[in-house]
Structure 1
Amino acid sequence: MEQYIEFLGRNPILSIIWLVLAAMLVSSWLKGMFSKILQINPQQLTILVNRQGGQVFDMRAQKEFNNSRIAGSEHMNVEKAKQNDFAGLEKFKTKPIILVCNTGMTASGIASNMYKAGFEQVYVLSGGFGAWQTAGLPTASGK
C-alpha cells in the first residue's frame, strides 16, 4: 500500500490521467446499463419486424437507400431527425422502431432523441446496414 501512495505522490499527472480514464470507463458502463435504447443484431431485427410489427427506418443518404436497403424499410431524413422533427411518425409511438444507418453511430443519437420525444420502443441495428449485409440477409433496391 505504501508503494501506491509513494507512486501517487511522485506521479500526480499520471495519477490524474488514470483516475479520469477509470471514471470514463465506469460512466460508459453505467450509461450502457441504464440506457432505454437497445442495440440489436440482424436476427433480432427480423424477429421484431415479423413477430411484433416493428418498422425499420433507414437513415442513410437517399441515394444509398434507393440503391440497397432492408426490405420494407422507410427512409428517414437525418437532418430533420437531428432537429427532433418526427412529424408523421406518431402512429409508431408504441410500436417497435428500428433505426439503421451505415454503422449504428448516427442512429444511436437519433434513437435517444426519439425516446425523449415519447417513442416507447426504439432499437438500433448494431453495426448498421453493414452488419445486415455481412449477415448475408436480403436487400431491396429501387425507389
Structure 2
Amino acid sequence: MPQFVEFVINHWILWTAFFVLLGLLLGGEIQRRRYGIPQVGPTQAIQILNREGALLLDVREDKELAESGRIPHARHIPLSQLSERLAELKAGKDKPVVAYCRSGSRSNKAATQLRKAGYEQVYNLAGGILAWENANLPLNKK
C-alpha cells in the first residue's frame, strides 16, 4: 500500500487527468440516463425522419458547418444559441427532433435542453455527422 501512495504522489498529474476524464465520461452518461435521451444511429435517424417527419437539428458552430457541410434538410442552430432561438424550430413539441453535431456530445446537450423545454420525442444522432459520413450518407457541402 505505501508503494501505491508513493506512486500517486509522484504521478499526481496523471491521476488528476484520469479523474477529470472519468468525470467527463460519467457525467455525460449520467445526463443521458437522467433525461432518457435515446441514441440513434444514422439508419435509425433516417427511419425517424421518413416515417415520423422529424426535424433534423444541426447544433454545430458556423465554422464547422462551412468545413464539412451538413445533412440535407437539417435546421442549423448552434448549441451556443439554442436556448435563445428555440422558437425558430417551428416544430410542435410533440414532433420528433433528431439533434446532431460533429460526434454526438454537444447534440446530447442540445437534446437535453429540448427535453427540458418540453419537447417529448428527442433523439441524439450517436457519433454525429462523422457517423453519418462513415455510413456513406449524403451531405450538402455548400
Is contact 2:55-2:91 (8 Å) kept? Answer: no
Gaps of 5+ in 2: 6-22
Instruction: Name segments (4+ residues, structure 1) moved above 4 Å.
Output: 26-34
**Structure 2 counterparts to residues 36-75 of structure 1, below 5 A:** 36-66=36-66, 67-75=68-76
- Normalising by structure 2, what TM-score? 0.71
Find the aligned partners of 1:112 and 1:69 in 2 and give their Cα distance: 22
CA distance in 2, matches of 1:28, 1:59: 17
Q: Where do 1:3-14 residues align within 5 Å?
A: none
Give percent identity, aligned residues only: 31
CA distance in 2, matches of 1:28, 1:109: 9
Asked if the contact 1:57/1:73 (under 8 Å) is kept, the reply is: yes
1:31-110 to structure 2, matched below 5 A, reads 35-66=35-66, 67-81=68-82, 83=83, 85-110=85-110
TM-superposed deviation, 1:27: 9.1
| Distance in structure 1 (CA, Å) of the matches to 2:69 and 2:86 | 24
Structure of larger gyration radius? 1
Partner of residue 19, structure 1: none
Q: Cα RMSD over matched residues? A: 2.8
